[in-house]
Structures are given as structure tokens and as C-alpha cells.
Structure 1
Amino acid sequence: MTHAPSKSAAASESSCGSDSPSSGNSQTRYIITVALATYFFWISLYLYVPVLPLHAQDLGANLEMVGIIIASYAIGQLLLRIPIGVGSDIVGRKPFAVGALILSALGAMWLALSPDAWSLFAARTLTGVAAAGWVAISVLFASYYPAGNTSRAMAIIMSVNTLSLVTATFIGGIVAEYFGNLSTFYGAAGIGFAGALLLLSAPEPKIVAVKKYSISTLVGILKTPLLLRVSAIAITLQFVTFGVNFGFLPIHAENLGASKSEIGYITTAGLLAAVGGTAVSAWVSKRWGPTTAVMVAGLATLFSLVVMTITTDLMTLGALQAFNGFGRGMMNTVLISMALASAPVAIRATAMGSYQALYAIGMLLGPAASGPIAAAFGIEMVFWAAAASTVVGGAIALIKPLPR
């Protein structure tokens, strides 16, 4: 078997840059540059999310087709996140990171120019391929930090991720309200290209120590029981996120009389609350254990989904979305921490890629199943299906409690 060098393993063993002050200043500049590019990356992928289901309907898509279009975002992530993770370990992260931003921009332009629902499906699939590059971008950002500061690096880049989603969904609804749906797609394209140019200006840190990477490394990660368990729970979480929050909730809100800007506010409420869930997740997990944290998060999500089926007031819907977001933020943080803990430091990039690829199953199944459910039984039934998925995730956590 041919062995290729693993850069992620090396990054975990060595600090980047030299000890000179100028080098330190350069590292800080590159960290800021990559963080800003990451901010642009997620805005380019989510600026149009609040109006995408509505735009699909404008192009003639029925509810079932809307679900298929939303689900297409997961195809590239399901198929490519592991190969991108492995490829980034072998040849470097920057090429994949820059490519992700360019594809995001091209996908947004294609969404704007799509004449029908199936073209929209293909364009959204391309943006999913772009999103698969998140593995490379996040590991590239962490590589600017010494090995001992990896946790801090990931905390910072995840905060950038959350902030960008809040910005995108908040502004996206307002932009669509005043300038039309297409403006969000073109805006996302411009932001994506700008992010790619930014990233080109930041050199990838030189790797000093090198270990060997083999196919058995990946196989070993994919057979890890803890990783498989937290991935299974994450699948149920993504089912809810993409079936409801980024799927049929905007249509449900519009049916209740919400404007496009109000839909953006409702979506933003959930993302802002997710920040709170993320903030308290470590404290809850440390005090009562990760299983309890997952159960608390699951109960918050379950409550919001059930009550959403009967509310007709937009303010109440926004409050419930915030409750839902708090639960999702807490659960997502606990699960990603457990996924990282499932592997040795040297191969955690591969573990992250594997975890993200596995939970993409939920990103695909959520909207793909919700479309036919909404068409056959009404949108309210989508919330009940998501509630059932949440119960399944809680059961997985309870059957064999997660280790502290």
C-alpha cells in the first residue's frame, strides 16, 4: 500500500511560523484574513437561504420539489467531505479552501440564473459541493495556531461561523424584501469571490514534522464506536435543521402572513439563540455530563417543534424558533466535541471530515422526506416528523450514555 504524508498529523505536532516578532505579526494578519474569508464563505452560502424555498415555488416547484431542492445541498457534502478531508491532509488545505469559495460564488450565480426548478436543484447541488470545503477551511484556520491552542482556534472559527449565519439570514430577508429574491443570489456570488481573493493572500503554514497516512487510518476512524454514535445523533439533529429551520419553516411563516424580512428575523432568532446554547453547552456537559446536555437540548427542540404545529402568531413562532435554536446550538457543540474526542490528536481532521460527512445524511433526509410529507399531509406534519427524529436522537444517547 502506498503511504502519503499527512499534513494534519504534522500540524498537530508542530507550531507554525517562527519566533520572530514580524512572523508573529504576519501570523496574526493571516488569522484575521482567513477568519474574514470564512465569514464571507458562510454568508455566500446562506444569504439567500430565507427566500430559497419561496424562490423555488416562484419557479413552479411544488412542495415535494422544494424538499428535493433543499436536500440537494447535502449531496456534495455527503459524498465529498471525507475525500476533501483526506485530500487536504495529503496535498494541503488552501487549494480546497479557495476552491470552495469560488464554487460557492458560481453556485449562487447559477441559482440566480436558473429558469426552472430542476436547474435550481443542480445549482443548489453545486453550493453543497462548496460547503463540503468547510473541512479544509476550518483545518487551515487551525493550522495558524500552535498545537496547544487548537481548541481555542476551533472556538474562534465556530464563533465566526455562527456570526456569519446570523448576518446572512438577517440581511438576506431584508435585501429580498427591498430588492427582490435575485439580489440575494448575486450578492452571495460577489461575497464568495471576494472571500476567495482574501484567502489567496494568506499563505498556508509550512508543515515541519510529517507522518505517514494510509487508508487504514480512515477505516479505523470510520469504525470508532463513539464517532458512529455521536454521528447518528447528529443525523437526527440535521434532519430537524434542514427539514424545518432551513426548509419548510419559511413557507409555514409565509402562510401565516410573514413578509420576507420577517422570515429573515424568525430565522435569525434561532441562530442568535444557538449562540446561547453553544455558550452554556460546556458548562452543562461538565456539570451533568454530555448525555444530560444532549437530553436538555433535545427536550428544548422537541417542545418548540410540537408547539409550532399549533401556533398562528408570528411573534410566538419567532420565540419558538429561538427555543429551537438554543437546543440545536447546545446539542451541536456537545456532539462536535465528542466527535473530536473520539480520535487521537494527529488524525482529528480526518475524524472531523468523517463526522461531517455522516451527519450530512440528515441534511439530505430532512428536506427530502419533508417535501413528500408536506405535500401529502400538510406542512404541520413536517414538524411532527422532525419531533420524531428528535426523540430518536435522544433514545440513541440514552441507550448507551456518552462518556464524559
Structure 2
Amino acid sequence: MEDIRFSKKEEIIFLISVSFFWFAQYVYIPYQTIYLTYINVGTSFIGIIVGAYGISQMLLRLPVGLSADIVRRHKYFIMVGGLSSGLASLFRILLPNGVGFLIANLFSGLASAMWISFMVFYTGHFSKEEQQSATARVVMFNNLGMLMGFVASTLFYNTITMKGICVLSVAGGLMTLLLSLNIKEDVPTKGEYNVGDLISICANKRLLLFSFIALIQQGVQLTTSMSFTNQVLSDLGASNTLIGISSIIYMISSVIFSALSSRNVFKGGPKVLIPSVLIIIAIYCILVPTVGSIPIIMLLQILPGTSSGILFACATSEAMKEVKPFQKSTAMGFFQAFYAIGMTVFPMMTGKLASSFNMSVGYFALAGIAILGCLIAVCFYKIENESNIDNVV
């Protein structure tokens, strides 16, 4: 399917379905930790609930990627994603407690495991030279869906409560399912490669390294700007509306940086952008628990927008550079399963450190991990550059 273009209508419908999907997945997120704290769920268990979202992704994404490469039909996986995202919030409605949210987050993780097919299906319609901008574009609509969710929850949470917010999530999942019915794919030819051929890509050093960079990015993002930063604001006395506005600031920043990245505005390429954004993430993690000011923390929410808007697109395109077309879904499955480890472990680690010490300790640990990622990226690009010089000589 590579190099086959969308019609403009097909591309617009698909990108709208991407936004509805992530709306369904994240509309409840700004108030998840607030709601769970309100119903007396402990901080450690909240960390487990948030981390559960990553557990099912971690377990399912590689098998989903392998299956997609074998079946060569992404439409069905995208439909399952829409259905699962709606089903997850149905659990939140029927079981509005810690256990219900734990089960729901496992289903949300199942839905997000299908993101592999969204990504591979979309980027497969663009040339090799267009992959980074195409990745940034689909990530922009991903972030736009999250932004729509955050705006909706901020406007309506105080009136329709968590139950009503979850009803909106169910509706978003159903819209994704309905729009995915319009997806057109060629009838696949019989596969020429066995499972061994497909899974061999998982040993690729470049894929492994940038999967680790994405692990840091996704783990820190989910743990801080999408979860515990809201709790920090609440502890300082911020109202539900201010907490929602804080999340909106973060998502607007993400959408803007994604849009700029898709247009290749930032100079220097991944070798400059990846280390720079990791340092920005570390600064964010150091400042949020220490400044003690609601307005400053809300302003700081701009910083993680660079993470989801720039770093994730760069890490994804860099990870896929040496992947052959027939292995693309498997490689994407491995990539997404690997970074799901961060989405699972980081919230649990931060929740445990916050319970045992305080929130600052958890955030400082995340800052240290981001700095480690920066050093690894710098070393990688230095070695790669020296190798390229030697090859020229």
C-alpha cells in the first residue's frame, strides 16, 4: 500500500475518525485522578489504575502488529479499537469505583493497542521522504481529539459529572466504529513471509533505542501532565475548572507543536530535537512539584506539549527508518508495546514514591530518567555521525 495516495475525502474522514477515537480514550482523563481521590481510592491504587492502561497495550501490541502483517487488513483492527474504547467507558458507567476503572483502563489499553493499524494504514499512503511529516500529521489529529475531550470535560464535568463524561466517551468510540466502515483496502495477496521473518525486526538496534526514547516520552506524559499534575493542582486548591483549563493548555500546546512538526518548521532534525525536548521534559518534572503556584504550573503545561507534538513523531519516524515494508506493523507493534512499559511502570513508580515520600520525589525520579534518555540519544547520534564520516572516508 506504500506510496498509494488517499483521495482528499478519504483522508479527511480517516483523520476525523482518529480524533473521535482519541476523544473517546481521553475525555475522562483530566478528572480521573481527581474523581478516584474523591471516592477515597488510595494513591498507590490510583497509580495501578493509571498503569493498567499500559499493561494491556504492553501485552497486546506485538501480537496485534504481527497479526496485522499476516492478515494485511487494518480496517478490522481499527473497528475493534473504536468498539473497545466505547466499551471501556461503559464499564466506568456501570462500575463507578476503583475496580471498575481498573477494568475499564485494561479495555482502553486494548483499544490503544489497535493504534498500530491507524498509524500504519495512514503512513502507508505516503512516500519514504514524507514519513516524518505524515506521522506528525496523524499525531496532530490524535492530539486534537484529546484536546476536544479535555475541552468537553472542562465545560461539562461539574454539571454532568464523571458518568456523563463517560457517556460522551462511549459516543466517541461508536463514531470511530461507524466512520471506520468507510475504510477501503485492497484485497491482500497471500503473505510471502513467516512469523520468524516478521519478528526478526525486533532485534534491530535502531528500533530498540528509539522505542526506549518513546518509552520515556509516553511514560512521563501519562504520569505527569495527564495524571498526577492534576493532583498537584488540586492539592494547591485549584478548582475543577482550573484543572480542566490546565489540561486544555497542555493539549493546545501539543496540537500546535504537532502542526509545526508536520510542516518541518523545526530545524536540526531529530538529532537536535530529541535531546532538546528530553531536557525540556526534565525541567518540567523538576518545576511542577516545587513552584507551589497554580498559575505557574498551568503555564508550565506548555512544556510537555513539545513532548507529544515533536518528540513522539521524531522517535516514531527514527525507529521505523530501517524497517522493511512487510515488517511495518510488527515493528510498530513492538515499538508501541515497548513504550507501553513506561506507561505501565512510571505511574506505578510515581504513585508509590508519592505515597512513601512525597510527589516531588516521584517527579524528580522522572526528571532523572528524561536526562538519561537525553544522554543516550546524544551518544547514539555522535556514534552514528562518526560512523558515517568513516564510511565516506
- Paired residue for 2:45? 65
CA offset at residue 234 of structure 1?
A: 1.7
- Paired residue for 2:4? 15
- Paired residue for 1:266? 246
Residue by residue over 1:36-83, the C-alpha shift from the partner in whole angstroms, topping out at 9 and shown as x without a partner, is 221111000000000111222233311001100000001111111111
Aligned residue among 177, 184, 190 for 1:204: 184
Residue by residue over 1:172-222, the C-alpha shift from the partner in whole angstroms, topping out at 9 and shown as x without a partner, is 12221232122111110112112211212x143214766513222333211
Are residues 1:141 and 2:93 paired? Answer: no
Q: How does 1:377-396 map to 2 (within 5 A)?
A: 377-396=357-376
CA distance in 1, matches of 2:19, 2:258: 18
- Paired residue for 1:251? 231
CA distance in 2, matches of 1:37, 1:149: 25
- Paired residue for 1:356? 336
After superposition, the Cα gap between the structure-2 partners of 1:90 and 1:193, relative to the gap in structure 1 and judged at 3 Å, is same
Check whether the contact 1:282–1:334 (CA below 8 A) recurs between aligned residues.
no
Aligned residue among 125, 130, 144 for 2:111: 130
Aligned residue among 79, 92, 101 for 1:111: 92
CA distance in 1, matches of 2:141, 2:200: 31
CA distance in 2, matches of 1:68, 1:238: 16
After superposition, the Cα gap between the structure-2 partners of 1:136 and 1:150, relative to the gap in structure 1 and judged at 3 Å, is farther
Amino acid aligned to 2:57 = Q
Check whether the contact 2:140–2:258 (CA below 8 A) recurs between aligned residues.
no
Check whether the contact 1:306–1:387 (CA below 8 A) recurs between aligned residues.
yes
Q: Taking every aligned residue pair, what percent have the same amino acid on both sides?
A: 23
Aligned residue among 317, 341, 359 for 1:337: 317
- Paired residue for 1:42? 22
SS of residue in 1 equivalent to 2:291: coil
CA distance in 2, matches of 1:381, 1:311: 14
After superposition, the Cα gap between the structure-2 partners of 1:303 and 1:171, relative to the gap in structure 1 and judged at 3 Å, is same
Check whether the contact 1:42–1:161 (CA below 8 A) recurs between aligned residues.
yes
After superposition, the Cα gap between the structure-2 partners of 1:319 and 1:81, relative to the gap in structure 1 and judged at 3 Å, is same
Q: How does 1:20-39 map to 2 (within 5 A)?
A: 27-39=7-19
Check whether the contact 1:105–1:190 (CA below 8 A) recurs between aligned residues.
yes
Residue by residue over 1:106-165, the C-alpha shift from the partner in whole angstroms, topping out at 9 and shown as x without a partner, is 10110122143122211111111111111112333345x365786364443222112111
Check whether the contact 1:239–1:389 (CA below 8 A) recurs between aligned residues.
no
Amino acid aligned to 1:98 = M
CA distance in 2, matches of 1:386, 1:158: 23
After superposition, the Cα gap between the structure-2 partners of 1:277 and 1:38, relative to the gap in structure 1 and judged at 3 Å, is closer
Amino acid aligned to 2:255 = V
- TM-score (normalizing by structure 1): 0.87
Check whether the contact 1:81–1:356 (CA below 8 A) recurs between aligned residues.
yes
- Paired residue for 2:294? 314
Are residues 1:102 and 2:102 paired? Answer: no
CA offset at residue 105 of structure 1?
A: 0.4
After superposition, the Cα gap between the structure-2 partners of 1:279 and 1:72, relative to the gap in structure 1 and judged at 3 Å, is same
Check whether the contact 1:269–1:321 (CA below 8 A) recurs between aligned residues.
yes
CA distance in 2, matches of 1:203, 1:280: 28
- Which blocks of at least 5 consecutive residues in structure 1 are unaligned? 1-10, 17-23
- Considering only aligned residues, what root-mean-square deviation do their CA atoms show, in Å? 2.5
Aligned residue among 302, 307, 311 for 2:282: 302
CA distance in 2, matches of 1:383, 1:361: 18
Amino acid aligned to 1:333 = A
Amino acid aligned to 1:15 = I
- Paired residue for 1:166? 147
CA distance in 2, matches of 1:306, 1:331: 19
SS of residue in 1 equivalent to 2:30: coil
Are residues 1:288 and 2:268 paired? Answer: yes
Check whether the contact 2:68–2:329 (CA below 8 A) recurs between aligned residues.
no
Check whether the contact 2:120–2:328 (CA below 8 A) recurs between aligned residues.
no
Number of matched pairs: 382
| More displaced stretch, 310-319 vs 36-45 | 310-319
Check whether the contact 1:305–1:324 (CA below 8 A) recurs between aligned residues.
no
CA offset at residue 360 of structure 1?
A: 0.7
Check whether the contact 1:232–1:359 (CA below 8 A) recurs between aligned residues.
yes
Check whether the contact 1:75–1:129 (CA below 8 A) recurs between aligned residues.
no
After superposition, the Cα gap between the structure-2 partners of 1:391 and 1:147, relative to the gap in structure 1 and judged at 3 Å, is closer
- Paired residue for 1:156? 137
- Which blocks of at least 5 consecutive residues in structure 2 are unaligned? 386-393
Check whether the contact 2:69–2:327 (CA below 8 A) recurs between aligned residues.
no
